[in-house]
Each structure stands twice: as structure tokens, then as C-alpha cells.
Amino acid sequence: MIYAGASGPYNFNGLVRHYFLRRQPNQADIQVNLLSRHERKAQSHDIARRLRPELDKIAAPFGARIKVAEVPPGPPVLETLVAEVYGPDYKGQQELAATIKKIFKETPGVVDLDWFVEDPQTKYDMKVDLDKAALEGVSAAEVTRTVQIGLSGASAGLLHDPSSREDIPIEVRLSRPDRSSIEDLENLKLPGPSGRQVSLREVTNVEKTTIDTSVYRKNLRPVVYVTGDVAGVVESPVYAIFKMSDAINKIQLPGGYHVKQYMGTAMPDDPNHYSMKWDGEWHVTVEVFRDLGLAFAAVLVLIYVLVVGWFKSFKTPLVIMAPIPLTLVGILPAHALMGVFFTATSMIGFIAGAGIIVRNSIILVDFIELRRSHGMSLEEAVVDAGAVRFRPMLLTAAAVVVGASVILFDPIFQGLAISLMAGEVASTVLSRMTVPVLYYLSERGRDDSTPLQMENEIVHAEV
């Protein structure tokens, strides 16, 4: 579907990206529906990446800009890469934004460059000279109506066509060649009271001016947006931002200042100096991982409190929770081997796997303390637990791997599956050794001649 001069259908993402404002005669949307993914070999992302350079070749001779975006193209942000430029002077902001845009263009993998700065557009103000119009016997209203009909047209009636279900409106309007320049409009004529044809040139004055450009604001502060997308070998905005950040730090401002960059969610706090804030997907990434990190910290505290209440010890929970970071030994290499980025769903899988890992550790520690309560020495209990309780741990890991394999190739939840599968396999292998060893190191100072007395009833998980 082609929408020229009118905004096409848009979703929530399009609402954030202002797709509904694409109503100018020089703007268009072309929406292409692909075949089902079962009927094509290439993914939509690969198709968009192949089309982008070919479309740029078509647009370059005309000075046009073409953006290739998937639907939905990502999180609800203005663009994948967004640089917000702030400063005390709007003209200075535009100059700094132009320099940053050049850095965007020179950075490998950054495509679909744009900035929210309108080019100067010429405007002609045609004003009626009332004295000359009075001498010619024409009114300002007649002049205005003549220009309006020539440019916008006017309804002249309806055409009653028997073959049509509805009447066809008739509009009178100058042809495009006759209204393409101000000289053509000045040559328009309107009848005077004496029957003489009076041209608009005789009763009007034309002033050439420039249209006022739009000024965008964020939190009531003027801002200039520089936007772009990423496409290439590494399509994560993080790496592109780090590359461009080094180049932006080298920009020299008047007075010996440098551009202060804001990587987090905080807004620039000094309106008297030029600064820049990274937004777009980076902003969403920072917020998501910050919230997930806080949630993970809360989970660790709750797990520690629960295990302390069960085992009546402050050291034992540390032994039980020690294998949690060991899951990264499997998670990070697995993401690298699969060629998948560590995303928010990967972090969710890491957090979810912590509960399974703690369960395996509790099985080992619980069995060790059970054997010690029956009079077995610490060394024998530790060795026996690692051998006997490995089967339930292995079955748990197998169940997680089989269950997560269903979403392993899903484009959204792939990171979740990799974190669960790789993290569980790594923790199962490593926790079998680390938990008994750490427990032995923490308890070897005790007098093993006295059996361990449990203060609470132990509930055993049997498989």
C-alpha cells in the first residue's frame, strides 16, 4: 500500500515516532506485506538490510531521504539512535547537531540518518495595495478569491453521470504549470468595473520571506534531535554509541568547553552550556536493566532471608547462593555461540534460573546435614551428598532444558531460553562441586565428634 501526502495506519510505536504527522505533499509511506515466514527463506530483518542500500541509490539523485523500518521496528522510541542536543542558543544547538550528524554519518553501521531541523523554505506574501485596487475598481476580497481559486480551486457544481452511483464534484483550478511560480500568479487577471482586465501585478505587492521553522521542546527546553538506525555486522546501538561518544568528546566548543554527554536517564541540568543526552533504545535499555537489577537484588535478599530462617545459620545461605553467579559461565558463552545479544529477556532468564539453582543447592546442603545428624563425619557427608543428590539435580536440569527448548528459536524469547538452558547446565555441573566444597570449608572448624542437631524438622525432597 502507498500513502502519499497522507499518514498510513500506525500502531503505538508509530504514535511515538509521529507517523501520524506524515501528511505533507512531499512525504509518503510504502507498506510492503511479506509472505509468511514459512514461504520465504530470508527473515524480514535480512530483507530490510538488503533493500536499504538499493533504495538509497534511488533517492540520492533527488535529495530524498528513505527510511526502511520493520513493523514493529522495535520499542516505542523516536528512533533506535537518538541524540538530544541542548544549549543556551538554538542556533548554536543546530550547529552542534550538524556536527553530531556528521559523526553519525561517518560511523560504520549507522544508517537512516535524520535530524529534526527543517531546511529554510521560501514564502511569498502577496499583499493588496488598497490604493491601487481602489483606482482600478477592484476589492481586496476579489483579489483574495482569485488567488484562492487559482491555487486551491473552487467547486463549480456537480456532474450527474448515469453510470456513476454518486454525483461527481466539479472543481475549477489552475493547471500545475500555470501555478508553479509567483510570476504566473501575478499574471492572473480579474475584471474591473469598466470591463478592463486587471492583472494581480498591478494591485498587489509581493514580499519574499522565509517560513518560520518548528522548534521542538522536551520538558519545556528547546532540543534538536539527531536520529539514526543501526544495520551491519553488529546491530546493537550500544557499540555504535560508544564509538560516536569518543568522537563527540573531541568536539571543541567556544570557550574551551567540551560537549557533556548524559548516558543515563537524567536530563542535562545546566542550561547555560551545550550538552547532549543519548535517548532511543539506549534509554529503554538503561531503564530495563536498572529495574531488572533492582529486582534481582531484592530476590537475592528474600532468598537469603528465607534460607536463614530455615537453616538457622547466616553462613549456610551464602554457600547455597554461591552457584548463582556461576551460571554466567554458561550464559555468556552460549549467547556468543548462538550470535544473540544479552537482552532483557536474557536477564529475566538469569533471574528465573536463580530459584532453580538455589533449589539444587538446598538439596545438597539438606542431605549433608541429614547425614551429619545421623552421625556421619563431615568429609563423608559431603562426598556422599555429591554422589547421591546428583541424579535429582540432573533431572531438574534436563526438565528445564526440554521445557525451554520450545522457545529457543523465538525471536523475542530466545534470550530467555538460552539463559535458562545454558545457566542450568553450567550450574548443575559446577554446583555439584562448589556447594559441597564451600560447605566443607565453612564447617570444618566444628567438632565432628558431636552429631549435628537440627533445631527444626527437616523436610526432604525425594525424587
pLDDT of residue 74: 62
The predicted model gives 326-344 an average pLDDT of 89
- pLDDT classification of 60: cutoffs 50, 70, 90: confident
The domains found in the chain, sorted by start residue, are 74-119+211-281 (3.30.70.1320), 122-210 (3.30.2090.10), 312-443 (1.20.1640.10)
pLDDT of residue 63: 82
Number of H helices, E strands in the chain: 15, 15
What is the C-alpha to C-alpha distance for residues 321 and 354, in angstroms, rounded to an integer?
8
pLDDT of residue 72: 63
- pLDDT classification of 462: cutoffs 50, 70, 90: very low
Q: Which residue has the higher pLDDT, 124 or 70?
A: 124
- pLDDT classification of 94: cutoffs 50, 70, 90: very high
Mean pLDDT of the chain: 85
Positive or negative, the Cα torsion across 337, 338, 340, 346? negative
pLDDT at 455 over 50: no
Cell numbers 537475592 correspond to 300
pLDDT at 2 over 90: no
Q: Which residues of 192-224 are buried (b: 16+ CB within 10 A; e: fewer)?
A: beeeeebebeebbeeeeeeeeeeeeeeeeebbb
pLDDT of residue 435: 86
pTM assigned to the model: 0.72
pLDDT of residue 445: 65
pLDDT at 239 over 90: no
Task: Give tens-digit pLDDT for 209-219.
Answer: 888 888 899 98
Cell numbers 565428634 correspond to 449
CA distances from 180 to 151, 174, 186, 206, 458 (A): 9, 10, 11, 15, 90
CA distances from 440 to 251, 319, 433, 443 (A): 58, 10, 11, 5
- pLDDT classification of 422: cutoffs 50, 70, 90: very high
Task: Give tens-digit pLDDT for 6-45.
Answer: 777 776 667 777 777 777 778 888 888 888 878 888 888 7
Task: Give tens-digit pLDDT for 144-162.
Answer: 998 888 888 888 888 888 8
- pLDDT classification of 229: cutoffs 50, 70, 90: confident
CA distances from 1 to 7, 28, 29, 65, 238 (A): 12, 10, 8, 19, 34
Task: Give tens-digit pLDDT for 374-418.
Answer: 888 888 888 888 788 888 888 888 999 999 988 888 878 899 999
The predicted model gives 245-268 an average pLDDT of 87
What does residue 252 show for φ and ψ, rounded to 5 degrees? -95, 125
The predicted model gives 262-290 an average pLDDT of 87
**Cβ(385)–Cβ(368) under 8 Å?**
yes
pLDDT at 68 over 50: yes
What is the C-alpha to C-alpha distance for residues 270 and 257, in angstroms, rounded to an integer?
13
pLDDT of residue 446: 61
What is the C-alpha to C-alpha distance for residues 16 and 99, in angstroms, rounded to an integer?
26
The predicted model gives 337-364 an average pLDDT of 88
